Amino acid sequence: MTNATKVFAAAALFVASTAPLAEAQMRPAAGYQSQWYTTPDGCSYSRTHAPGYGVSWVLIQNPHHINKPNVGNHCANTL
C-alpha cells in the first residue's frame, strides 16, 4: 500500500466516524416484518413497499398512534 493510499484510507475512516447521527441510523434486519420500526435513538419509521422495489422506511413525524414521542432533528427522513 502506498502512503497516499494509507492517507486516503485514514481520511475516509475519519469522515465515516464523524458522520452525523441521522446518517448513522440503522435499518431493521431484512426479515423484520412489523409495520413500524423505532431506532435505538427514538426515531420511528413506517414500512413502505411498492411492487418491484425493495422495502423502504419513512420517518413518522407524529408517531403518537404507536405511543412514541415526536421526532427530533437528528432523525433521517428515510432509512
Instruction: List, as one string, the DSSP characters of 17-33.
Output: HT--HHHHPPPPPTT--
> Residue 36, SS3?
strand
In the predicted structure, residue 8 carries a pLDDT above the cut 60: no
Instruction: With respect to residue 5, please indicate whether it lies within any of the assigned structural domains.
Output: no
**Beta carbons of 41 and 47 less than 8 angstroms apart:** no
**Beta carbons of 43 and 71 less than 8 angstroms apart:** yes
In this predicted structure, what is the pLDDT of residue 13?
54
Say how many domains are in the chain.
Answer: 1
Amino acid identity, position 31: G
Instruction: With respect to residue 70, please indicate whether it lies within any of the assigned structural domains.
Output: yes
pTM value is: 0.65
pLDDT digits (tens, 9 = 90+) for 28-79: 988 899 999 999 989 999 999 999 998 999 999 999 999 988 888 899 999 9
In this predicted structure, what is the pLDDT of residue 9?
52
Q: For residue 31, what are the domain limits? A: 21-79
- Average pLDDT value for residue range 21-33: 75
